[in-house]
Homo-oligomer: A and B are copies of this chain.
Amino acid sequence: MNFFTLEAKSGNARAGRIVTSHGVIETPIFMPVGTRGTVKALEQEDLEALAAQIILGNTYHLYLKPGHELIERLGGLHKFMSWDRPILTDSGGYQVFSLSDINKLTEEGVTFQSHIDGSKHLITPEKSMQIQRALGSDIVMAFDECPKLPASKETLHKSMKLTERWAKRCKSVELKSHQHLFGIIQGGLFEDLRTESMQGLIELGFDGYALGGLSVGEKNEEMVAFCASFVPTMPENKPRYLMGVGKPLDVMNGIKAGLDMFDCVLPTRNARNGQFLTHHGPLNIKKARFLEDSGAPDPECKCRVCQRYSRAYIRHLFNVGEYLAGQLITFHNIYFYLNMVKEAREAIFQDGFDDYYTKFYNNYTSNRWE
């Protein structure tokens, strides 16, 4: 069985399937983020009810707490959290660079202080592989350096070459037999750098290729234009993953460009801040206009939350700080993302992605709740 099969195309948009030992992932797919072994505010039963096909775990967080060795002794991350569908773990690179105090970046790796207790740690490419091997995720990400944008071409080139050397070291570490390793393409918004980065990785040979270092400070339209131009040059026969991006329209633009996999904390994090993502744009439940609004959060949504609860009720829950507000909005937002990629996939099979995109875009930007 091939790891990845391209099933259909509509323009540059692709439908495919990824086969792992924990199950099949139908692409394009959104991966809910389960940073510390839980998608915040959802039970695993909820994720199953939502038909989530794959979730993401954060290597950096799980390494610090409860520790990858403990998780391995307890049978790996799937067993630890009782989730038997696929899991992707990131490399920890992004979090090391964004959450911790960096002490030293060398050829060897990164020395940093934990954002939790200040303890010192050295993460190398080999260490990242050991941690992810212990976690037992189905898809493992190579350890990369993540520079913030804007950055000079020289800086980005240097960083990209380091990421390439690190990728080679990652590749040399033996993973568990069920694990698949993805390489991460860096190079900012410079297509020549990205191409050089990608060629280096392709020579090493990975099971999938990710775009890292996007949505890290550049303008949104720059990212969109870059993806539209660059993604079609990526290998056809491997999954293409846009890391940590993004808003609903970012995901739709990514699919349009030919990307297959997406993750972002936005639907879960914004849920806990009272934001519903709806067919007509973001809806902030805190607004006074929803005080006595007995309508469904998103009238066009078929999720169990929109079928059952009113805006007025959820606004009340949010205002008095009840758990249930976060639970309900998170459930809806994940449903919204998974439904969006599922509909996109169906449209691709019908070779009607552009129409779907246009309809989605026009609805989403109608700003009905502003």
Contacts and interface: CB of A to CB of B under 8 A. Distances in A.
A317 B38 contact: yes
Interface stretch (A40-48, A154-162, A252-260): A40-48
A66 B37 CA distance: 35
A308 B82 contact: yes
Interface residues of A, number: 38
B310 A74 contact: yes
Contacts of A310: 74, 80, 82
A4 to B, nearest CB: 31
Interface string A291-317: 110100000000010001110110011
Interface string A44-70: 110000000000000001000110001
Contacts of A82: 308-310, 313
Interface in A51-110: 61, 65-66, 70, 73-75, 80-82
B294 A74 contact: yes
Contacts of A304: 45
Interface stretch (A198-206, A323-331, A340-348): A323-331
B41 A292 contact: no
Nearest to A294: B74
A36 interface: yes
A320 interface: yes
A233 interface: no
A73 B312 CA distance: 11
A319 interface: yes
A131 B149 CA distance: 57
A322 interface: yes
Interface in A7-62: 36-38, 40-45, 61
Nearest to A82: B308
Nearest to A307: B82
A74 B312 contact: yes
Contacts of A294: 74-75
Nearest to A73: B292
A312 to B, nearest CB: 6
24 contacts: A36-B316, A36-B317, A37-B316, A38-B322, A40-B322, A40-B323, A41-B324, A41-B327, A42-B324, A43-B327, A43-B328, A45-B304, A66-B291, A66-B316, A70-B292, A70-B312, A74-B294, A74-B310, A74-B312, A74-B313, A75-B294, A80-B313, A80-B316, A327-B327
